[in-house]
Structure 1
């Protein structure tokens, strides 16, 4: 195993690595596609201006050739540049025999200074091949010139041939071409950067559900480890005490049963919370009587010497009966556990209002203001409680479009208020 790869071996590390590779692949594919299109565009632009220049040069030498007049062997005449304007682009006439250049007739009043060696070279190549030849050379002033050499045959009876060479300055075309290349390169760089950022964000959104699932799984494991450690240790201690015979067997079994019951409740609460946070529990919304649901929960909750008073008015809310029953039961159980002084029975009052609220008041020590905001997070209820009941109740309230808050109670303790949207009167059954 390679060192330093521990982070990549974790599930979250693998997902983050997959995100980076996906973003990199997205940017690479975009870069290849943009580079390919840029190359095609550059080549097309280059071919376009070259074809235009070559066509103009070919037309130029053909016009000059059409006006040439044979004088004598090795001597041709063509109109004065002032009359025919053949001096720009300049056309140079090479004459010779057997494709071998032997003479040079300089253009009159040329608008370009073309190196004589370049002229002779392209003329000689055209004379040897007998075909039109084109080339690009550099002038003494640094300008780039395009040359076009056209071989021709004189009167057959005289057996005389020659080459016409035309030249034109293409520095402007090349400058435009270089600017186009720079512009396309800059645009490709910007687009690749944008695609890389977009790919990273898209990959981040794509892997976000997986990261959320991993976080939920780790939170579930942390909840389970945190909440089951104490009852498991208690069961182990009771078992060791029973084996040593240091306590009455019936009492040990009774306490063990209580711890096992608590462990079962904890496991059930952990699984419920995990399913709620992962979205595995769909909401089965239907109109229901909130006052009747609260009455049923209070009737099913063991009071064990405590007193619970219910005041309610008929109200219909849209919601999931099972989840709402669980939320109300958690609030009531929390009040019975913490809502009374030590050694005294709890006095809890449950009020169901016409506005879709369920208020649970107790006469316990209350909730300090600094703890009210974090009270509905897991492990914040207090001693002797898992802290999951209020967390589940808050999630159920939010899932139904409502809220769960805690304020001081007129009875001296805490007042938990569960608010739910009320079904409009015209939609009530």
Structure 2
């Protein structure tokens, strides 16, 4: 079952690979985001607990010192004289509350600082004191001052000396610190962590997109090569297959001589065999499946052998060669030269006239050079580079020969160029001058 896009259309293999890349990128970003957000949340909570703990430690020192300055008179009544003389500075606010042991009344304020810099709401102060007495332990809570500023309230209980009867009074010392600055610093830390997480998530998405792109690049390359191969095969096999079908239908109707039909069938079969061979060679070169069997070879002898094996059919091929040794794959070079010669024999002459092709083999510096010149109509301006692209064919050819020859040249580290042959053509007969193809291959060391 084929996979489809949101619009209901079937996705191509390339589209599926690209969608996979987007999903990998999203998964990478989400995974990074989950880890970063988790770490940020833990860091924010840790910072929140830290500034509260720091305030609580400072207030705990104040309440402990204040409790040490409390005393009881002979009637077990609370005496705050030493506390008032020592710690009544107004900042932080110190409040001493007490409550009878029999629970007959609620907390009573025994002392409150004079002109405190910060005044807590009475209900909050009483509530934290009652909580400290109830739990018999220190209690710290967040609250608000009477003018609305955020504060931290800390209460520490104290207990009256044992006395007969429920006449003793237990109590708690409550201190107040303003937490505006600490909370602002905490908010800044939170915003910085949030912004840092956002930036890191974006960066991780970008890195994930880049890495996923590198990961799927070979797959996209293979898919592109596969699609190009299939397109080449469909494009170039369509015509000979149609010709075979028409020939078979003609033979079945008895409209042609059976011997002639068989001859034409064999020619078509040979052409299709060569076409399939060319397609496979080009596909192997593109994908790197076919490795180069480099070895020293006589380029002049190889070219002469190719010319000798080529069907002349009345054409004239002239070879001028000097001894030239190159390091290359013999089979691939033979195919490249044969393709250049076949192209010259096919296109390098006027209609109805025999082709005149001149091939020159020479060594130029560190390269062995094969020059194929014909007497055809020449090359139109601006099409020399396009000749080596697939589907760039003339009548009667597959369009793969020059493409394969170019691939062979570049696979060996050489080059293949095309240009007009110059005035007079190879045979010096005047006219447009034909076309010249120059194949360069690395020469063997002298």
Match of 1:131 in 2: 137
Q: Does 1:312 align with 2:324?
A: no
Q: Does 1:325 align with 2:325?
A: no
Report 1:154-169 matches (<5 A): 154-157=160-163, 159-169=168-178
Give the Cα–Cα distance (whole angstroms) in 1 for the partners of residues 99 and 6 of structure 2: 79
Deviations 1:93-122 (CA, angstroms, capped at 9, x unpaired): 112222742334211232212111111111
Give the Cα–Cα distance (whole angstroms) in 2 for the partners of residues 77 and 244 of structure 1: 130
TM-score (norm: length of structure 1): 0.93
Are residues 292 and 381 of structure 1, via their aligned partners in 2, closer, same or farther at CA, if it must alter by over 3 Å? same
Aligned partners of 1:96 and 1:103 also within 8 Å: no
Match of 2:395 in 1: 383
Match of 1:152 in 2: 158
Give the Cα–Cα distance (whole angstroms) in 1 for the partners of residues 109 and 376 of structure 2: 120
Residue of 104, 122, 128 corresponding to 1:122 = 128
Give the Cα–Cα distance (whole angstroms) in 2 for the partners of residues 403 and 169 of structure 1: 81
**Structure 2, unaligned runs of 5 or more:** 426-432
Match of 1:111 in 2: 117
Residue of 239, 243, 246 corresponding to 2:252 = 243
TM-score (norm: length of structure 2): 0.89
**Greater shift in the superposed pair: 378-387 or 288-297:** 288-297
Equivalent residues, number: 425
Report 1:5-404 matches (<5 A): 5-71=7-73, 72-79=75-82, 83-84=86-87, 86-98=89-101, 100-157=106-163, 159-355=168-364, 356-404=368-416
Are residues 113 and 423 of structure 1, via their aligned partners in 2, closer, same or farther at CA, if it must alter by over 3 Å? farther
SS in 1 for 2:387: coil
Shift of 1:287: 3.3
Deviations 1:345-376 (CA, angstroms, capped at 9, x unpaired): 22211112212221111111111113222111
Give the Cα–Cα distance (whole angstroms) in 2 for the partners of residues 146 and 313 of structure 1: 100
Are residues 3 and 325 of structure 1, via their aligned partners in 2, closer, same or farther at CA, if it must alter by over 3 Å? closer
Match of 2:430 in 1: none
Give the Cα–Cα distance (whole angstroms) in 1 for the partners of residues 296 and 144 of structure 2: 89
Shift of 1:8: 4.9
Are residues 141 and 329 of structure 1, via their aligned partners in 2, closer, same or farther at CA, if it must alter by over 3 Å? farther
Give the Cα–Cα distance (whole angstroms) in 1 for the partners of residues 414 and 258 of structure 2: 49
Aligned partners of 2:371 and 2:438 also within 8 Å: yes
Give the Cα–Cα distance (whole angstroms) in 2 for the partners of residues 187 and 315 of structure 1: 66
SS in 2 for 1:79: helix
Residue of 408, 418, 423 corresponding to 2:439 = 418
SS in 2 for 1:420: strand
Are residues 285 and 110 of structure 1, via their aligned partners in 2, closer, same or farther at CA, if it must alter by over 3 Å? farther
Are residues 152 and 339 of structure 1, via their aligned partners in 2, closer, same or farther at CA, if it must alter by over 3 Å? same
Give the Cα–Cα distance (whole angstroms) in 2 for the partners of residues 175 and 230 of structure 1: 79
SS in 2 for 1:370: coil
Are residues 324 and 83 of structure 1, via their aligned partners in 2, closer, same or farther at CA, if it must alter by over 3 Å? same
Aligned partners of 1:331 and 1:390 also within 8 Å: yes
Give the Cα–Cα distance (whole angstroms) in 1 for the partners of residues 81 and 201 of structure 2: 58
SS in 2 for 1:198: helix
Match of 2:428 in 1: none
**Structure 1, unaligned runs of 5 or more:** none
SS in 2 for 1:302: coil
Are residues 55 and 346 of structure 1, via their aligned partners in 2, closer, same or farther at CA, if it must alter by over 3 Å? same
Give the Cα–Cα distance (whole angstroms) in 2 for the partners of residues 86 and 362 of structure 1: 111
**Greater shift in the superposed pair: 145-154 or 347-356:** 347-356
SS in 2 for 1:357: strand
Shift of 1:78: 4.2
Deviations 1:261-293 (CA, angstroms, capped at 9, x unpaired): 111111111111122222221223333333333
Are residues 401 and 70 of structure 1, via their aligned partners in 2, closer, same or farther at CA, if it must alter by over 3 Å? same
Are residues 249 and 80 of structure 1, via their aligned partners in 2, closer, same or farther at CA, if it must alter by over 3 Å? closer
Shift of 1:86: 4.9
Shift of 1:85: 5.8
Give the Cα–Cα distance (whole angstroms) in 1 for the partners of residues 10 and 248 of structure 2: 43
Root mean square deviation of aligned Cα: 2.1
**Greater shift in the superposed pair: 239-248 or 115-124:** 239-248
Are residues 115 and 185 of structure 1, via their aligned partners in 2, closer, same or farther at CA, if it must alter by over 3 Å? same
